[in-house]
Amino acid sequence: MAYKIPLFQLNFDEAEENAVIETLRSKWISMGPRSQALEERFAEMFGSKHAVSIANCTAALHLALLAVDVKAGDEVLCPSLSFAATVNCIKYVGATPCFCDVESLDRPTISIEQIKANFSERTRAIIVMHYAGHPCDMDAIMAFANEKGIPVIEDACHAPLSELNGKKLGTIGAIGCYSFFSNKNISTGEGGMLITDDQSIYEKVKLLRSHGMTTMSFERSKGHATAYDIVELGYNYRMDDIRAAIGLAQLEKLPEDLQKRKHVRAWYLENLKNESRIVVPFAENANFSSNYVFTVNLVDSDFTKRDQLRDFMHENGIQTSVHYPAIHRFSIYQDIPAELPITEYVCDNTLTLPMFGSLTQEEVAYISETLKKGIQHVFG
Ligand SMILES: Cc1ncc(COP(=O)(O)O)c(C=O)c1O
Protein backbone atom coordinates (compact mmCIF):
# COMPACT_ATOMS: atom_id res chain seq x y z
CA MET A 1 0.00 0.00 0.00
CA ALA A 2 1.20 3.50 -0.82
CA TYR A 3 1.07 5.68 2.29
CA LYS A 4 -0.72 9.04 2.23
CA ILE A 5 2.21 10.29 4.31
CA PRO A 6 5.48 8.35 4.26
CA LEU A 7 7.98 8.39 7.11
CA PHE A 8 10.59 10.13 5.01
CA GLN A 9 10.99 11.67 1.58
CA LEU A 10 14.22 12.31 -0.27
CA ASN A 11 15.16 15.94 -0.83
CA PHE A 12 16.37 15.35 -4.40
CA ASP A 13 15.98 17.51 -7.52
CA GLU A 14 18.02 18.56 -10.57
CA ALA A 15 20.99 19.42 -8.34
CA GLU A 16 21.62 15.72 -7.54
CA GLU A 17 20.79 14.65 -11.12
CA ASN A 18 23.23 17.15 -12.60
CA ALA A 19 25.91 16.24 -10.07
CA VAL A 20 25.70 12.59 -11.14
CA ILE A 21 25.70 13.39 -14.87
CA GLU A 22 28.71 15.69 -14.50
CA THR A 23 30.56 12.99 -12.60
CA LEU A 24 29.80 10.34 -15.22
CA ARG A 25 30.95 12.69 -17.97
CA SER A 26 34.15 13.48 -16.08
CA LYS A 27 35.11 9.82 -16.59
CA TRP A 28 36.30 9.51 -12.97
CA ILE A 29 33.70 7.68 -10.90
CA SER A 30 35.61 6.02 -8.06
CA MET A 31 37.22 7.93 -5.14
CA GLY A 32 38.78 11.10 -6.53
CA PRO A 33 38.29 14.87 -6.71
CA ARG A 34 34.62 14.88 -5.70
CA SER A 35 35.24 12.72 -2.62
CA GLN A 36 38.03 15.12 -1.67
CA ALA A 37 35.79 18.15 -2.26
CA LEU A 38 33.09 16.57 -0.11
CA GLU A 39 35.59 16.01 2.70
CA GLU A 40 36.84 19.60 2.51
CA ARG A 41 33.31 21.07 2.49
CA PHE A 42 32.18 18.78 5.30
CA ALA A 43 35.15 19.70 7.50
CA GLU A 44 34.50 23.38 6.84
CA MET A 45 30.75 23.23 7.61
CA PHE A 46 31.19 21.06 10.69
CA GLY A 47 34.18 22.97 12.07
CA SER A 48 36.45 19.95 12.15
CA LYS A 49 40.14 19.82 11.18
CA HIS A 50 39.77 16.61 9.18
CA ALA A 51 37.00 14.70 7.40
CA VAL A 52 37.36 11.28 5.77
CA SER A 53 34.66 10.08 3.37
CA ILE A 54 33.81 6.43 3.91
CA ALA A 55 31.59 3.78 2.30
CA ASN A 56 29.04 3.99 5.14
CA CYS A 57 28.85 4.81 8.83
CA THR A 58 29.21 1.19 9.92
CA ALA A 59 32.66 1.20 8.31
CA ALA A 60 33.39 4.61 9.86
CA LEU A 61 32.61 3.26 13.34
CA HIS A 62 34.81 0.22 12.69
CA LEU A 63 37.71 2.46 11.62
CA ALA A 64 37.10 4.73 14.60
CA LEU A 65 37.61 1.86 17.04
CA LEU A 66 40.71 0.68 15.18
CA ALA A 67 42.08 4.21 15.18
CA VAL A 68 41.80 4.51 18.97
CA ASP A 69 43.34 1.05 19.33
CA VAL A 70 40.43 -0.91 20.80
CA LYS A 71 41.33 -4.60 20.69
CA ALA A 72 40.18 -8.11 21.60
CA GLY A 73 39.58 -8.37 25.34
CA ASP A 74 38.71 -4.69 25.74
CA GLU A 75 35.29 -3.36 26.73
CA VAL A 76 33.43 -0.46 25.12
CA LEU A 77 30.56 1.33 26.87
CA CYS A 78 27.62 1.90 24.50
CA PRO A 79 23.86 2.41 24.34
CA SER A 80 21.47 -0.38 23.39
CA LEU A 81 18.86 2.09 22.12
CA SER A 82 20.41 2.56 18.69
CA PHE A 83 20.81 0.90 15.33
CA ALA A 84 22.80 -2.36 15.55
CA ALA A 85 25.81 -0.84 13.75
CA THR A 86 26.59 1.32 16.83
CA VAL A 87 27.45 -1.89 18.67
CA ASN A 88 28.37 -4.39 15.92
CA CYS A 89 31.55 -2.39 15.29
CA ILE A 90 32.71 -3.27 18.82
CA LYS A 91 32.49 -6.95 17.94
CA TYR A 92 34.38 -6.39 14.66
CA VAL A 93 37.50 -5.54 16.67
CA GLY A 94 36.99 -8.46 19.06
CA ALA A 95 36.02 -6.24 22.00
CA THR A 96 32.95 -6.64 24.22
CA PRO A 97 30.04 -4.19 24.23
CA CYS A 98 29.01 -3.08 27.69
CA PHE A 99 25.43 -1.85 27.44
CA CYS A 100 24.36 1.26 29.37
CA ASP A 101 20.77 2.31 29.94
CA VAL A 102 19.37 5.62 28.70
CA GLU A 103 18.50 8.50 31.02
CA SER A 104 14.69 8.69 30.74
CA LEU A 105 11.70 8.74 28.39
CA ASP A 106 12.38 12.43 28.00
CA ARG A 107 16.12 11.95 27.30
CA PRO A 108 16.59 8.54 25.67
CA THR A 109 20.36 8.97 25.39
CA ILE A 110 23.13 7.12 27.23
CA SER A 111 23.16 7.88 30.95
CA ILE A 112 26.31 9.17 32.67
CA GLU A 113 25.35 7.27 35.85
CA GLN A 114 25.25 4.06 33.82
CA ILE A 115 28.58 4.89 32.18
CA LYS A 116 30.14 5.34 35.62
CA ALA A 117 28.49 2.19 36.99
CA ASN A 118 29.66 0.01 34.07
CA PHE A 119 33.21 1.36 33.83
CA SER A 120 35.85 -1.30 34.52
CA GLU A 121 39.61 -1.63 34.17
CA ARG A 122 38.98 -3.20 30.74
CA THR A 123 36.99 -0.19 29.45
CA ARG A 124 38.86 1.36 26.52
CA ALA A 125 36.29 3.65 24.87
CA ILE A 126 32.76 5.07 25.05
CA ILE A 127 30.43 5.22 22.06
CA VAL A 128 27.54 7.67 22.39
CA MET A 129 24.63 8.15 19.98
CA HIS A 130 22.81 11.48 19.71
CA TYR A 131 19.27 10.10 19.48
CA ALA A 132 17.04 11.80 16.89
CA GLY A 133 19.60 14.61 16.57
CA HIS A 134 19.53 15.68 20.23
CA PRO A 135 22.64 15.82 22.41
CA CYS A 136 23.81 13.27 24.94
CA ASP A 137 25.02 14.73 28.24
CA MET A 138 28.40 15.49 26.66
CA ASP A 139 29.74 17.76 29.42
CA ALA A 140 29.47 15.00 32.02
CA ILE A 141 30.52 12.24 29.59
CA MET A 142 33.62 14.13 28.41
CA ALA A 143 34.59 15.05 31.99
CA PHE A 144 34.42 11.38 33.01
CA ALA A 145 36.18 10.11 29.85
CA ASN A 146 38.99 12.65 30.29
CA GLU A 147 39.40 11.70 33.94
CA LYS A 148 39.74 8.03 32.91
CA GLY A 149 41.85 8.81 29.83
CA ILE A 150 39.57 7.03 27.35
CA PRO A 151 38.29 8.31 24.00
CA VAL A 152 34.65 9.11 23.21
CA ILE A 153 33.37 8.19 19.75
CA GLU A 154 30.22 10.03 18.72
CA ASP A 155 27.80 8.13 16.52
CA ALA A 156 26.38 11.33 15.03
CA CYS A 157 24.35 9.59 12.31
CA HIS A 158 21.20 11.36 13.49
CA ALA A 159 22.84 14.67 14.16
CA PRO A 160 24.50 16.49 11.25
CA LEU A 161 24.82 20.18 12.22
CA SER A 162 23.04 19.56 15.55
CA GLU A 163 24.65 21.49 18.38
CA LEU A 164 25.25 21.51 22.10
CA ASN A 165 25.97 24.98 23.50
CA GLY A 166 27.16 26.18 20.10
CA LYS A 167 29.42 23.19 19.40
CA LYS A 168 28.51 20.72 16.65
CA LEU A 169 27.68 17.19 17.75
CA GLY A 170 30.38 14.90 16.36
CA THR A 171 33.13 17.41 17.16
CA ILE A 172 33.09 17.05 20.94
CA GLY A 173 34.62 13.57 21.35
CA ALA A 174 37.75 12.23 19.63
CA ILE A 175 35.83 11.12 16.52
CA GLY A 176 32.41 11.81 14.98
CA CYS A 177 30.78 9.37 12.53
CA TYR A 178 27.93 10.20 10.12
CA SER A 179 25.78 8.14 7.75
CA PHE A 180 24.51 9.16 4.32
CA PHE A 181 22.10 6.20 4.04
CA SER A 182 18.97 7.02 2.00
CA ASN A 183 16.79 8.02 4.93
CA LYS A 184 19.38 10.23 6.64
CA ASN A 185 19.53 14.06 6.63
CA ILE A 186 22.21 13.78 3.93
CA SER A 187 21.33 11.00 1.49
CA THR A 188 23.69 9.44 -1.03
CA GLY A 189 22.19 5.92 -1.04
CA GLU A 190 25.09 4.51 0.95
CA GLY A 191 27.89 6.63 2.36
CA GLY A 192 29.44 8.10 5.46
CA MET A 193 31.96 10.50 6.95
CA LEU A 194 34.36 10.38 9.87
CA ILE A 195 35.60 13.63 11.38
CA THR A 196 38.38 14.30 13.87
CA ASP A 197 40.73 17.05 14.99
CA ASP A 198 43.45 14.51 15.77
CA GLN A 199 46.13 14.27 13.08
CA SER A 200 47.25 10.74 13.96
CA ILE A 201 43.66 9.39 14.00
CA TYR A 202 43.10 11.08 10.63
CA GLU A 203 46.18 9.52 9.09
CA LYS A 204 45.38 6.06 10.43
CA VAL A 205 41.75 6.18 9.23
CA LYS A 206 42.82 7.33 5.76
CA LEU A 207 45.27 4.48 5.51
CA LEU A 208 42.87 1.80 6.76
CA ARG A 209 40.06 3.04 4.53
CA SER A 210 41.94 1.87 1.46
CA HIS A 211 43.79 -1.40 2.18
CA GLY A 212 46.58 0.31 4.15
CA MET A 213 47.97 1.49 0.80
CA THR A 214 50.38 4.38 0.70
CA THR A 215 48.96 5.89 -2.54
CA MET A 216 45.54 5.98 -4.22
CA SER A 217 44.54 5.17 -7.84
CA PHE A 218 43.60 8.80 -8.49
CA GLU A 219 47.07 9.99 -7.50
CA ARG A 220 48.64 7.33 -9.71
CA SER A 221 46.36 8.24 -12.64
CA LYS A 222 47.62 11.81 -12.36
CA GLY A 223 51.23 10.64 -12.37
CA HIS A 224 51.82 11.83 -8.79
CA ALA A 225 52.87 8.33 -7.77
CA THR A 226 53.75 5.21 -9.65
CA ALA A 227 53.85 2.60 -6.91
CA TYR A 228 52.43 1.81 -3.51
CA ASP A 229 53.28 -0.13 -0.40
CA ILE A 230 50.84 -1.76 2.03
CA VAL A 231 51.83 -0.82 5.55
CA GLU A 232 48.79 -1.92 7.57
CA LEU A 233 45.96 -4.42 7.20
CA GLY A 234 43.26 -2.16 5.77
CA TYR A 235 39.90 -2.48 4.04
CA ASN A 236 38.07 -1.23 1.00
CA TYR A 237 35.85 1.27 2.83
CA ARG A 238 36.12 3.97 0.17
CA MET A 239 33.31 6.21 -1.02
CA ASP A 240 33.01 6.74 -4.79
CA ASP A 241 32.80 10.04 -6.65
CA ILE A 242 29.23 9.45 -7.89
CA ARG A 243 27.98 9.35 -4.33
CA ALA A 244 30.34 12.14 -3.28
CA ALA A 245 28.83 14.36 -5.99
CA ILE A 246 25.34 13.67 -4.63
CA GLY A 247 26.70 14.33 -1.13
CA LEU A 248 28.05 17.73 -2.18
CA ALA A 249 24.62 18.71 -3.55
CA GLN A 250 22.92 17.42 -0.39
CA LEU A 251 25.35 19.24 1.89
CA GLU A 252 24.53 22.58 0.27
CA LYS A 253 20.82 21.95 0.88
CA LEU A 254 21.26 20.77 4.45
CA PRO A 255 20.98 24.10 6.34
CA GLU A 256 17.72 25.02 4.58
CA ASP A 257 16.32 21.52 5.03
CA LEU A 258 17.07 21.69 8.75
CA GLN A 259 15.27 25.03 9.02
CA LYS A 260 12.19 23.41 7.48
CA ARG A 261 12.44 20.46 9.87
CA LYS A 262 12.59 22.91 12.75
CA HIS A 263 9.15 24.21 11.71
CA VAL A 264 7.80 20.68 11.36
CA ARG A 265 8.97 19.88 14.88
CA ALA A 266 7.45 23.10 16.25
CA TRP A 267 4.08 22.22 14.63
CA TYR A 268 4.16 18.75 16.17
CA LEU A 269 5.06 20.15 19.59
CA GLU A 270 2.22 22.67 19.46
CA ASN A 271 -0.34 20.12 18.25
CA LEU A 272 0.63 17.50 20.82
CA LYS A 273 1.35 19.70 23.85
CA ASN A 274 -1.84 18.71 25.72
CA GLU A 275 -1.66 14.99 24.98
CA SER A 276 -0.97 13.46 28.39
CA ARG A 277 -0.43 9.94 27.04
CA ILE A 278 2.87 10.85 25.39
CA VAL A 279 6.28 12.23 26.21
CA VAL A 280 8.07 13.94 23.33
CA PRO A 281 11.79 13.34 23.89
CA PHE A 282 13.88 16.48 24.19
CA ALA A 283 10.80 18.70 23.90
CA GLU A 284 12.73 21.32 25.89
CA ASN A 285 15.99 21.06 23.91
CA ALA A 286 16.84 24.63 22.89
CA ASN A 287 20.01 23.69 20.98
CA PHE A 288 19.93 23.65 17.19
CA SER A 289 18.91 20.15 16.05
CA SER A 290 18.91 18.17 12.81
CA ASN A 291 15.52 16.70 13.80
CA TYR A 292 16.45 13.48 12.04
CA VAL A 293 13.34 11.74 13.34
CA PHE A 294 10.37 12.80 15.47
CA THR A 295 9.50 10.21 18.10
CA VAL A 296 6.92 10.06 20.87
CA ASN A 297 7.01 7.74 23.90
CA LEU A 298 3.72 6.44 25.28
CA VAL A 299 3.28 6.51 29.06
CA ASP A 300 1.59 3.75 31.09
CA SER A 301 1.61 1.58 28.02
CA ASP A 302 2.99 -1.69 26.69
CA PHE A 303 4.15 -2.96 23.32
CA THR A 304 0.76 -4.44 22.34
CA LYS A 305 -0.88 -1.03 22.79
CA ARG A 306 1.95 0.67 20.90
CA ASP A 307 1.57 -1.81 18.06
CA GLN A 308 -2.21 -1.25 17.98
CA LEU A 309 -1.53 2.46 17.69
CA ARG A 310 0.91 1.83 14.83
CA ASP A 311 -1.79 -0.27 13.09
CA PHE A 312 -4.26 2.61 13.53
CA MET A 313 -1.82 5.06 11.95
CA HIS A 314 -1.13 2.59 9.14
CA GLU A 315 -4.89 2.18 8.43
CA ASN A 316 -5.10 5.96 8.16
CA GLY A 317 -2.32 6.10 5.59
CA ILE A 318 0.50 7.24 7.87
CA GLN A 319 3.77 5.35 7.93
CA THR A 320 5.42 5.01 11.34
CA SER A 321 8.52 3.26 12.61
CA VAL A 322 10.28 2.24 15.83
CA HIS A 323 13.62 3.75 16.79
CA TYR A 324 14.79 1.21 17.88
CA PRO A 325 14.38 -2.41 18.85
CA ALA A 326 16.94 -2.71 21.69
CA ILE A 327 20.25 -4.15 20.50
CA HIS A 328 20.87 -6.19 23.65
CA ARG A 329 17.71 -8.19 22.94
CA PHE A 330 18.96 -9.42 19.55
CA SER A 331 20.01 -13.08 19.48
CA ILE A 332 23.71 -12.38 18.94
CA TYR A 333 23.87 -10.19 22.06
CA GLN A 334 21.88 -12.30 24.46
CA ASP A 335 24.98 -13.73 26.12
CA ILE A 336 25.95 -10.26 27.38
CA PRO A 337 24.38 -9.44 30.76
CA ALA A 338 22.33 -6.26 30.53
CA GLU A 339 19.77 -4.73 32.82
CA LEU A 340 18.25 -1.83 30.92
CA PRO A 341 14.70 -1.14 32.13
CA ILE A 342 14.35 2.34 30.60
CA THR A 343 15.76 1.26 27.23
CA GLU A 344 13.37 -1.71 27.19
CA TYR A 345 10.39 0.47 28.09
CA VAL A 346 11.26 3.00 25.35
CA CYS A 347 11.73 0.27 22.72
CA ASP A 348 8.34 -1.20 23.53
CA ASN A 349 6.48 2.09 23.73
CA THR A 350 8.03 4.43 21.22
CA LEU A 351 6.61 5.47 17.89
CA THR A 352 8.32 7.42 15.12
CA LEU A 353 6.15 9.81 13.14
CA PRO A 354 6.89 11.17 9.64
CA MET A 355 9.64 13.81 9.55
CA PHE A 356 11.06 15.54 6.48
CA GLY A 357 11.49 19.11 5.33
CA SER A 358 8.66 19.19 2.77
CA LEU A 359 5.95 18.07 5.22
CA THR A 360 3.23 20.73 5.25
CA GLN A 361 1.52 22.20 8.30
CA GLU A 362 -1.72 20.51 7.14
CA GLU A 363 -0.01 17.14 6.94
CA VAL A 364 1.47 17.55 10.41
CA ALA A 365 -2.01 18.53 11.69
CA TYR A 366 -3.46 15.39 10.08
CA ILE A 367 -0.77 13.15 11.61
CA SER A 368 -1.22 14.79 15.04
CA GLU A 369 -5.02 14.46 14.95
CA THR A 370 -4.78 10.85 13.81
CA LEU A 371 -2.33 10.12 16.63
CA LYS A 372 -4.73 11.62 19.19
CA LYS A 373 -7.65 9.62 17.76
CA GLY A 374 -5.50 6.49 17.78
CA ILE A 375 -4.61 7.06 21.44
CA GLN A 376 -8.33 7.39 22.25
CA HIS A 377 -9.04 4.25 20.24
CA VAL A 378 -6.33 2.17 21.98
CA PHE A 379 -6.42 3.54 25.53
CA GLY A 380 -10.09 4.51 25.69
C1 LIG B 1 22.54 5.46 14.83
C2 LIG B 1 23.10 4.79 13.63
N3 LIG B 1 24.35 4.30 13.69
C4 LIG B 1 24.92 3.71 12.62
C5 LIG B 1 24.24 3.55 11.43
C6 LIG B 1 24.90 2.84 10.29
O7 LIG B 1 25.03 3.67 9.18
P8 LIG B 1 25.25 3.07 7.72
O9 LIG B 1 23.96 2.52 7.24
O10 LIG B 1 25.71 4.25 6.92
O11 LIG B 1 26.30 2.02 7.81
C12 LIG B 1 22.94 4.05 11.32
C13 LIG B 1 22.21 3.93 10.06
O14 LIG B 1 21.17 3.45 9.88
C15 LIG B 1 22.35 4.67 12.46
O16 LIG B 1 21.10 5.16 12.41
Mutate to test the pocket of ligand 1, among 175, 178, 181 (most ligand atoms within 8 A of CB): 181
Ligand 1 nearest atom to the CA of residue 191, by list position: 10
Query: Measuring from atom 9 of ligand 1, which residue has the nearest CA?
Result: 181
Tell me, rounded to whole angstroms, the distance of Cα 136 from its chain centroid: 13
pLDDT digits (tens, 9 = 90+) for 29-54: 999 999 999 999 999 999 999 999 99
Residue 135 has pLDDT above 70, yes or no: yes
pLDDT digits (tens, 9 = 90+) for 281-324: 999 999 999 999 999 999 999 999 999 999 999 999 999 999 99
Report the 10 Å Cβ neighbour count for 9. Answer: 14
Q: What is the rounded average pLDDT of the residues 219-238?
A: 88
Q: How far is CA 54 from CA 5, 59, 205, 308, in A?
A: 32, 7, 10, 39
Are 8 and 356 contacting, i.e. CB atoms less than 8 angstroms apart? yes
pLDDT score of 1? 66
What does the alpha-carbon distance between residue 151 and residue 145 come to, in Å, rounded to a whole number? 6
- Residues in contact with ligand 1 (CB, 6 Å cut-off): 56-58, 82-83, 85-86, 129, 155, 157-158, 179, 181, 192
Q: Kindly give the distance from the C-alpha atom of residue 58 to the centroid of ligand 1, in angstroms, as a whole number.
A: 6
pLDDT category of residue 215 using cuts at 50, 70 and 90: confident
pLDDT score of 223? 79
Residue 257 has pLDDT above 90, yes or no: yes
Instruction: Select from 108, 115, 112 the least CA-distant residue to 76.
Output: 115
Q: What percent of the chain has pLDDT over 90?
A: 95
Q: Kindly give the distance from the C-alpha atom of residue 95 to the centroid of ligand 1, in angstroms, as a whole number.
A: 19
Q: What is the rounded average pLDDT of the residues 148-169?
A: 98
pLDDT score of 218? 76
| Active-site residue list | 184
Structure pTM? Answer: 0.97
Least confident of 60-64, 216-220, 346-350: 216-220
Domains parsed from the chain with CATH numbers: 14-250 (3.40.640.10), 255-379 (3.90.1150.10)
